[in-house]
Chains A and B, each alone.
Chain A
Amino acid sequence: GESVGLHLPTLSVQEGDNSIINCAYSNSASDYFIWYKQESGKGPQFIIDIRSNMDKRQGQRVTVLLNKTVKHLSLQIAATQPGDSAVYFCAENSYGNNRLAFGKGNQVVVIP
């Protein structure tokens, strides 16, 4: 469940199950969104991106869904594996603004 302070919202998932990570964004002008994965002691790693003219995009075992009406982004991971344990960040970029704004991270813990 969600915690306060420095603790990140944590999703515990059984290996092999599907994971869904959610992200709310605030800037209605944002037109490009990215999901990053960050493992302990490493920098963020690009997973998948989506432009605002799409509502769904699929990659290998991952799907990103964008709902512009409610300014919500989600990342679905199919058949979650132990290597998927990490903190996941969404990031948004507004047209004409070259700055990526990262959201709060979500910790995913995969239970073998």
Chain B
Amino acid sequence: EAGVAQSPRYKIIEKRQSVAFWCNPISGHATLYWYQQILGQGPKLLIQFQNNGVVDDSQLPKDRFSAERLKGVDSTLKIQPAKLEDSAVYLCASSLGLAAATDTQYFGPGTRLTVL
């Protein structure tokens, strides 16, 4: 079974530029998550989709971050404009069912973003 795919793996941009990340979840997985992982910390949930609807985006900085999951499959996360503190690894995860509390989340390799 193919895992969660993410691209690009690395991205370097200057502050105030825009950037987009792409995620392809495991086939058939209804729930998709985007996490931000700052160096030395655990992942922090940014947004959770169930199919193509947003379930939780309470920790997403909506003034600069946006995400969509068209057709309930692939997802993109965008940052516009980027700040220095956005430097982190952005992880995408997916789970099979709709009950995130006990469904195993499978993570992709992440995109390492460096903002200069």
Could you say which residues of chain B place their CB within 8 Å of the CB of A5?
40
**CB–CB B44/A95 < 8 A:** no
> What is the minimal beta-carbon distance from B103 to any residue of chain A, in angstroms?
9
Main secondary structure of the interface of A (DSSP, over half): loop
Q: Please give the number of chain A residues whose Cβ is less than 8 angstroms from any Cβ of chain B in the complex.
A: 27
Could you say which residues of chain A place their CB within 8 Å of the CB of B41?
102, 104-105
**CB–CB A7/B40 < 8 A:** yes
Q: Which listed residue (A43, A91, A96) contacts B42, Cβ 8 A?
A: A91
Q: Given A99-B56, A100-B100: A46 and B42 within 8 A (CB)?
A: no
A98 in contact (CB, < 8 A): yes
In the complex the two chains form, what is the Cα distance from A93 to B59 in whole Å? Answer: 16
Query: Which residues of B from 61 to 116 have beta carbons under 8 Å from A?
Result: 91, 93, 99-102, 104-110
**CB–CB A98/B56 < 8 A:** yes
Q: Which listed residue (B40, B59, B99, B108) contacts A43, Cβ 8 A?
A: B108
In the complex the two chains form, what is the Cα distance from A7 to B107 in whole Å? Answer: 23
When A and B form their complex, what is the total count of cross-chain residue pairs whose Cβ atoms lie within 8 Å?
A: 61
Main secondary structure of the interface of B (DSSP, over half): loop
Q: Which listed residue (B42, B55, B102) contacts A104, Cβ 8 A?
A: B42
**CB–CB B102/A32 < 8 A:** yes
Query: Which residues of A from 91 to 112 have beta carbons under 8 Å from B?
Result: 91, 93, 95-100, 102-105
Could you say which residues of chain A place their CB within 8 Å of the CB of B93?
43
> What is the minimal beta-carbon distance from A102 to any residue of chain B, in angstroms?
3
Residues of chain B whose beta carbon lies under 8 Å from any beta carbon of chain A = 4, 39-45, 48, 55-56, 59, 91, 93, 99-102, 104-110
Residues of chain A whose beta carbon lies under 8 Å from any beta carbon of chain B = 5-8, 31-32, 41-46, 49, 51, 89, 91, 93, 95-100, 102-105
